[in-house]
Each structure stands twice: as structure tokens, then as C-alpha cells.
Amino acid sequence: MQPLKPEDIKYLIVHHTATPRDSTTFEAVKRYHTQEFGWEDIGYHFFINGQGILNLGRPVNYVGSHCSAGSMNFKSLGICLAGNFEVEKPSESQLKMLESILRELMNKYKIPIDNLLGHCEVPGAKTLCPGKNLLEWLKNYREQQKRSSDIANILQAIQETLARLQDLVSSLKSRL
């Protein structure tokens, strides 16, 4: 496996297994990747099963095998949820775990919200992955994060303006 430096991690790519959510296991996907493709490990860095349990896959310091389009394997981490989200929906526990791991990884690697992509959103990727139901959640998540960021920026600007006004008032008081 090829090393992946922390500073090279610029994207998070979300996938689905395209298999039944509640019967797909980490072990089965890992076995499929190693036996059918001959890879040394599962292609994803993180795997969330149908019950929302997170499995650590390929170590984050190694290039994944989850998205060759745009050379994403060399600049991203792959997160996969068990399920076929073209026909079923992710479980609430899967989405809670996904949100938790996204927040952690985005903070750790300073990944901007616009660099959180569903596999099909990667230019050149010809796939339905992560399925319409998970893709809809991802789009909503990105919009929520952008709104939260906008609100935080507005609050910071207000606080800075209030601080300047307090300084101005203090300055005027000292002149009187």
C-alpha cells in the first residue's frame, strides 16, 4: 500500500455498498476487496454498518481504493455506509455516526465543507454511489454546515463591532 500524508488529505468521499443495509458486514466487504480484487485491505478508511457501528478500515496513512476518478484516492479518505441507498435509507444510527466522523475528520484535516463529496459528485466518476437517499442527506448536511458557518461569521462581526463601539465610548468618556 502507498503512504498518504496528512497534508495530502483534502477531501472526504462518501460511499454506499449497494448491498442490503442490515445484512452487509465489514468483514464481507473486506473479504470481497481482498479476494476478488486482490487488494491488501478494504478500500475504505471507515465503514459504518447498518447499526451505526464504525469499523476502521484501511489506515488513514495509506492511499485508499475507493475513488480513482480525479485521482481522489491520493487526496481523500473514503467513508462507506452499508446499504443500497438507491432503494433504502440509511438508519438514524448510521447518519449519527457519519455526522460524528465527518465532523472529526473535517476538523482534524481542515477539510472545507465543499470538499465533502458523494462518490458520484467527483468529476469523472460514473456511478450512482452513494445512492440518491444518502446523497440527499449529504447535500442537506453541507447546506446546514454552510448556514452555521455564515451565522458564526455574522456573530463574530457583531462582536467585533460591539468591541469597537465600546472602545469608542470609553474614549469619548475619557475626553469629557
Whole-number pLDDT of residue 165: 78
Domain count for the chain: 1
Q: Is the dihedral of CA 26, 73, 146, 108 positive or negative?
A: positive
Residue 97 belongs to a domain: yes
Pick the more confident residue, 173 or 24: 24
**174 band by pLDDT with thresholds 50, 70 and 90:** confident
Q: Is residue 169 part of a domain?
A: yes
Considering the chain, what is the average pLDDT of its residues?
94
pLDDT score at 136: 98
pLDDT digits (tens, 9 = 90+) for 77-134: 999 999 999 999 999 999 999 999 999 999 999 999 999 999 999 999 999 999 999 9
Q: Do the domain assignments include residue 151?
A: yes
Q: Is 118 helix (H, G, I), strand (E, B) or coil?
A: strand
Instruction: Quote the CA–CA distance of 78 and 116 in Å, as a whole number.
Output: 10
In this structure, is residue 1 part of a structural domain? no
Give the domain range for residue 69.
6-175
Backbone phi, psi, residue 122, to 5°: -75, 125
Give pLDDT tens digits for 19-67. Answer: 999 999 999 999 999 999 999 999 999 999 999 999 999 999 999 999 9
Q: What is the CATH number of the domain that holds 100?
A: 3.40.80.10
Of the given ranges (4-8, 24-28, 141-145, 156-160), which has the lowest mean pLDDT? 156-160
Residue 153, pLDDT > 70, answer: no
